[in-house]
């Protein structure tokens, strides 16, 4: 079965790019959220296998969203998307339960590699 992914990023450009990369690689993008509130709602509605989560969002910070999602869905994989210079937030995110992180600007290979290995962890953990 296709792995189902929710994309959370406040930039339409970034969401489009991520969606294209992931869809081309055979993943199913089940939703796109542009802010923290949408992210939490869609995470509950769509129950994705993996969420790509932008660190900086308009309403909440990405960290708050991460914590919110973790409370409801401890098993979902969360890949944080950040830019150079946000190592502090990334570290905090990893401590708060993020599975992995990607640094922008990202290449297609890097995105697929990180998403792929994050999902593999879950499969091996489940089996």
Partner 1 sequence: MKSREQEYREIFMAEALEYYDAMSRHISELERNPADEPALNELFRLMHNLKSNARAMGYTQIGEAAHHMETIFGLIRSKDMTFTGPVVTVLFDGIDTIGEMIRAVGADQEASDISFLLENLDRLVRGESPILEDTQEEEEANRKLELSDLVYIQIKKLDHLLNLVGELIIDRDRVLTLSQEIGNPALMAAAAHFSRIADDLQYSVMDARLVGVGSLFNKFPRVVRDVAAAEEKDVELTIVGEDIQIDRNILQIITDSLLHLVRNAIGHGLETPAERIAAGKTGQAHLTLSAQTERDDVLIQVIDDGRGIDVESVRRKAVERGLVAAETAATLDPDAVRSFLFEPGFSMAKQVTEISGRGVGLDVVKLAIDSLGGQLRVDSVMGQGTTFTLVLPTSIAVKGALLFVLDERNYAIPLMHTDSVVSLMPDDFHVVGGMLLARVQDENLPVVPLRRLLHNGDGPLAPASKAELNGRQDIIIVNYSNRKLGLIVDRFLRQQDIVIKPMSKPLDTIDLFGGVTLLGSGQVCLVLDVPALTRLFLARRP
Task: Return the residues of window 100-119 that contact partner 1 according to CB under 8 A.
Answer: 104-106
Considering only the stretches 4-12, 69-77, 93-101, 110-118, report the one whose residues sit in contact with partner 1 under the rule CB under 8 A: 4-12
Q: Strand 50-54: give its sheet, edge to edge.
A: 28-33, 4-8, 50-54, 77-83, 100-104
Nearer of residues 41 and 113 to partner 1, judged by Cβ? 41
Task: Return the residues of window 46-105 that contact partner 1 according to CB under 8 A.
Answer: 46, 56-58, 83, 85, 104-105
Q: Peptide bond preceding 105: is omega within 30 degrees of 0, i.e. cis?
A: yes
Radius of gyration of the chain (CA): 13
Q: What are the beta bridge partners of residue 81?
A: 54, 102
Q: Which two tokens stand for residue 127?
A: 């089996």
* Residue 17 in contact with partner 1, rule: CB under 8 A: yes
Residues in contact with partner 1 by the rule CB under 8 A:
10-17, 20, 29-34, 38, 41-42, 45-46, 56-58, 83, 85, 104-106
């Amino acid at each position: 079965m296709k792995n189902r992914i929710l994309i959370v990023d406040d930039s339409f450009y970034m969401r489009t790019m991520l969606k294209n990369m992931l869809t081309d690689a055979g993943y199913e993008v089940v939703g796109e959220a542009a802010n923290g509130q949408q992210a939490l709602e869609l995470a509950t509605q769509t129950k994705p296998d993996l969420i790509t989560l932008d660190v900086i969002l308009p309403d909440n910070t990405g960290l708050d969203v991460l914590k919110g999602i973790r409370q409801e869905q401890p098993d979902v994989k969360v890949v944080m998307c950040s830019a150079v210079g946000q190592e502090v937030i990334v570290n905090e995110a990893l401590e708060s339960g993020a599975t992995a992180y990607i640094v922008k600007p990202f290449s297609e290979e890097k995105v697929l590699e990180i998403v792929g290995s994050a999902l593999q962890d879950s499969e091996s953990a489940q089996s």
